[in-house]
Amino acid sequence: MPNTQQLENFVTQVRRDILRQVHKVNSGHPGGSLGCAEFFTALYQEVMDYTTDFTMDGNNEDLFFLSNGHISPVFYSVLARSGFFPVEELNTFRLLDSRLQGHPTTHEGLPGIRIASGSLGQGMSVAIGAAEAKKLNKDSHIIYSLHGDGELQEGQNWEAIMYAAGNKVDNLIATVDLNGQQIDGCTDNVLPLGNVKEKFEAFGWDVLEVKEGNNITKVIEGLKEAKSRTGKGKPVCILLHTIMGNGVDFMMHTHAWHGKAPNDEQLETGLSQNAETLGDY
Amino acid sequence: MKKYTDSGKKDTRSGFGAGLEELGKKNENVVALCADLTGSLKMDAFKENHPDRFFQVGIAEANMISMAAGMTIGGKIPFTGTFANFSTGRVYDQIRQSVAYSGKNVKICASHAGLTLGEDGATHQILEDLGLMKMLPGMTVINTCDYNQTKAATIAIAKHDGPVYLRFGRPKVANFTPENGTFEIGKAVQLTEGNDVTIVATGHLVWEALQAAEQLEEAGITAEVINIHTIKPLDDEAILKSVKKTGCIVTAEEHNFLGGLGESVARVLAENHPTPQEFVATKDTFGESGTPEQLMDKYGLNAEAIIKATKKVIERK
């Protein structure tokens, strides 16, 4: 297991990867990606039991589903640096003939991806289906998923949330990235989510909060706590409080960088705040 | 001309239910999901005999389709069941992203398709589903004609690795294809031989085409009736071979003429062998309440309409 410094170095390198990917093609979604760098690092470097000998079925390993597919830069960076595909392939992000499509897809056969996502609100249902399949297969591994907070405005989530509680899908840990921002502004202004914790609880979920979603130690603690609560008859939800654009000062606390790439100068500023740790691709 | 007899009217949805139950016994990876229409889809036997593999999702079709996509990860072969309207239009984006684009082995099984749903009216009578489904890359689209064929198709699609849309209906109709017959996806079934016209029909219109062919024979016109159970991939070869002999074609389907079987056939003909064609289909309209017979008559989807279209297309040769 990596120590905290190693994990923090990993996070810093992931931030550089995110910035460099979106800068190169002048498109993509850096804000939410940066906010979730610690979460992905925690999952793939510490918490999940998986193999990089990728099979679509993923039997006898933990699986992860990204529902808010637009934060593909962080997903690709962490998958590559965890050994799923060559790190150099990050150079092909969003380019013609690339396996690293704008939003994650199985279509080009990129190892680590098990479902296309991008059109929002479908990932929770997919994760539940995979969790039910694990139960049928008597596979005791866990299904993890990540969802944006704005994404909860999609009604399908609430169908899925109702199903998972009603059918005791207790091998599922669904994390909601509570950064309070979406494309048009603050979630409170666009369409208020209300009390997300109470809503999940009212539907019958076991909910825990990670208040410092950009503190790698706290994120790991939260994920491990969530794992300890699986198998007890309730699906588990983590409300992960993150800062959109975290780690790059001018991108933080604003929705402005949801789907906008930095220019040359902004890239340099962002990179200067995140020194190279594991080597750029 | 070869004659076909009705062994006793049965609904195609019961063929689906029987096929699903047989699959349940044979293949433990087959799972079924239903959105609160277990009885209507005739999924009761599967539910009763394989309760651990039956998933009642409630009135939540979007969740059902995406869940089915997730269940393929781990090797399951999910069959989803609800009405055709709620199997397609309501969940188009879920099918598009989570099933078709993701290449998942989901079987979308849709009952109560078309006008023959009857009295519930246009809110439930989808006439656009074949078009919606055939436009999705990688999607196989099947519309079966009777109980026996629906049962055979249900069993056959479990062996096909990839997404499938299987469309069937509500009313009891003639059952005339062989019991326990083979079902080959993408392979047209030629039912009669003829020289004057090719009649390509799908679903409930296949029996009507046979009735039309018998009446046309009395008038001295021989019709080659082809049962196209698979709209996609379409058996181009069978269609082209027949029209090269007959020189004209009538397509018949319980679907809008925009986007249905007829348009697929027209594309094949335009590309390979331009041929006069008449379309027996609804003409860019919604349905309404009524009995299945009344509706099929009013919207021109029966043997009489096929005969009329045949006479017209022969004149255009």
DSSP A25-37: HT-S-HHHHHHTH
- Other Cβ atoms less than 10 A from the Cβ of A211: the count is 11
**B27 touches A: beta carbon within 8 Å:** no
The CATH code for residues A4-272 is 3.40.50.970
The amino acid present at A55, given as its one-letter code, is T
Under 8 Å between Cβ of B44 and B13: no
**B66 touches A: beta carbon within 8 Å:** yes
CB atoms B63 and A159 under 8 Å: yes
Q: CA B150 to CA B206: how far, in whole Å? A: 13
In which residue are the tokens 């907070």 written?
Answer: A149
If you classify domain B189-315 with CATH, what class do you get? alpha beta
Q: Please report, for residues A277, B55, B62, B82, the alpha-carbon distance to residue A167 in angstroms, rounded to integers and kept in the order given.
A: 45, 9, 17, 20
Q: What is the dihedral of CA B113, B114, B119, B123, to 10 degrees?
A: 90
Residues 6+ apart with CB under 8 A from B309: B250, B252, B278, B279, B280
Q: Which residue in B21, B28, B48, B61 is the catalytic one? A: B61
| B277-282: strand order across its sheet | B189-190, B223-227, B197-201, B249-256, B277-282
pLDDT at B12: 98
**Which residues of chain A does B97 touch, with a Cβ-Cβ cutoff of 8 Å?**
116-119, 122
- Other Cβ atoms less than 10 A from the Cβ of B268: the count is 18
DSSP A87-143: GGGGGGTT-TT-SS-SS--TTTT-TT--S---STT-HHHHHHHHHHHHHHTT--PPE
The one-character DSSP state at B162 is S
The amino acid present at B269, given as its one-letter code, is L
Measure CB to CB from residue B102 to each of A58, A106, A131 and give the nearest one.
Answer: A106
3-state DSSP call for residue B36?
A: coil
ipTM above 0.95, yes or no: yes
> Which residue does chain B place closest to A122, by CA atoms?
B66
- Closest Cα in chain B, distance from residue A144 (Å): 13
| φ, ψ (nearest 5 deg) of residue B111 | -100, 175
Strand partners, A177: A148, A240
Burial of residue B186, with CB atoms counted within 10 A of its CB: 0-12 exposed, 13-18 middle, 19 or more buried:
middle
- Determine whether B61 is an active site residue: yes
Q: Which two tokens stand for residue A217?
A: 């130690």
Beta-strand (E) ranges in chain A?
A: 63-66, 143-148, 172-178, 181-182, 185-186, 206-210, 236-241
| φ, ψ (nearest 5 deg) of residue B74 | 125, 0
Q: Which two tokens stand for residue B227?
A: 């049962």
Architecture of domain B10-173: 3-Layer(aba) Sandwich (3.40)
- Closest Cα in chain B, distance from residue A201 (Å): 20
Q: CA B41 to CA B14: how far, in whole Å? A: 7
Q: pTM above 0.95?
A: yes
Q: Which own/partner pairs from B90-95 qualify as long-range (CB within 8 Å, at least 24 positions apart)?
A: B90/B61, B90/B62, B91/B61, B91/B62, B91/B64, B91/B65, B92/B132, B93/A119, B93/A122, B94/A122, B94/A125, B94/A156, B94/B62, B94/B65, B94/B66, B94/B69, B95/B65, B95/B133, B95/B136, B95/B139, B95/B163
**Which residues of chain A does B75 touch, with a Cβ-Cβ cutoff of 8 Å?**
57, 59, 133, 137
The one-character DSSP state at A71 is G
Q: What is the pLDDT along chain A (281 residues), one digit of tens a residue?
A: 789 999 999 999 999 999 999 999 999 999 999 999 999 999 999 999 999 999 999 999 999 999 999 999 999 999 999 999 999 999 999 999 999 999 999 999 999 999 999 999 999 999 999 999 999 999 999 999 999 999 999 999 999 999 999 999 999 999 999 999 999 999 999 999 999 999 999 999 999 999 999 999 999 999 999 999 999 999 999 999 999 999 999 999 889 999 999 999 999 999 999 999 999 99
Q: What is the pLDDT along chain B (317 residues), one digit of tens a residue?
A: 999 999 999 999 999 999 999 999 999 999 999 999 999 999 999 999 999 999 999 999 999 999 999 999 999 999 999 999 999 999 999 999 999 999 999 999 999 999 999 999 999 999 999 999 999 999 999 999 999 999 999 999 999 999 999 999 999 999 999 999 999 999 999 999 999 999 999 999 999 999 999 999 999 999 999 999 999 999 999 999 999 999 999 999 999 999 999 999 999 999 999 999 999 999 999 999 999 999 999 999 999 999 999 999 999 99
Nearest to B277 by CA among B216, B193, B212, B197: B197
**Which residues of chain B does A136 touch, with a Cβ-Cβ cutoff of 8 Å?**
31, 52-53, 74, 76
- Closest Cα in chain B, distance from residue A58 (Å): 6
Q: Give the start-to-end residue ranges of the domains of chain B.
A: 10-173, 189-315
CB atoms B102 and A105 under 8 Å: yes
**Which residues of chain B does A133 touch, with a Cβ-Cβ cutoff of 8 Å?**
70-76
**Interface probe, candidates A65, A103, A110, A115, chain B, greatest B C-beta count within 10 A:** A115
Phi/psi zone of residue B160: left (φ > 0), alpha (ψ -120 to 50 degrees), beta?
beta
